[in-house]
Chains A and B, each alone.
Chain A
């Protein structure tokens, strides 16, 4: 009897020791809910705490939740949650210092957590490689030159890597730094206008990559430059935002955007690697997002006489 009681105690103790507390910090949105649910399913042996923040939530609110729930690990969805964690790293209390985190759905994550040793994660922006190669498989025209307006102050690393990745596919990515003549909106917009052309520096452009950057897609430029050019040039505009391919926007021809369930699996895998194998998050680093969904605006494609491979259109969400 004593042996049985001891065995049960050992089993219970082992289970409670191996189960960690994972606290998710996110906004209240359908997209984030889907990612959180996937993480919770994949890591169901651990205890989950959900902290929903608002735009006006402050660090003290976050810190109070950390102190109350005593998480071992944080899943940070959005830049605000990442900023809270960065601040938390400065706390001296012993019960907080061990906390590590994984993040996604935060913009420009690699840049934001550069050299950080306590946060790993998944880049939320679908990489140029994925957007361009997924688009290429749908069209029966060669795609060899792609133009990408970008801001060097924040996205140089991303563009450099994208150029190398696409080069291996025989695709020349021409990055145009639209801050070259100044960082003010007017200067940026002037260079965007110059960059959005059928031919750039004597090279025929096969596609234009729309950046997920509010500074470049600013209010002044969006309708007067981006929409106007997308509708007047004979070049497909590609992006990672589904709604830009909608009928209402009539803007991009193709989008490859995050598959949120796959993203949840990918983040859960990183968290699991840290919790189960003890791999340091610094070693896990920041990975590219892998799983995507695709959307193709057929009307836009027709408007620019883009030859499509009809047998491949079943795999994408077509907008007509």
Chain B
């Protein structure tokens, strides 16, 4: 299974971005192959509206089963759920520590959006 992390950087020690729709990038980690790639989210960062929905489209295309981020608004939540992606809320500072928490089963799947849209 592959899992995505919102991040402002390009490596495992980069910060985990607390925002979903307007995160700079997604680090997509393949748990079986122990390998990752970075997907740009610039189009959504610059979107006038619907950034969460567009970011969800980008994430769906990567073929991940889950996304680890800080918070998730209602539209992004609806889009990700419709695509069958599990959303994990996480307060870890970096992608690496979030990945560790995920592997250890310490991350809770979200069952609803936890912030309003445009919360930052």
Q: Do A and B bind each other?
A: no
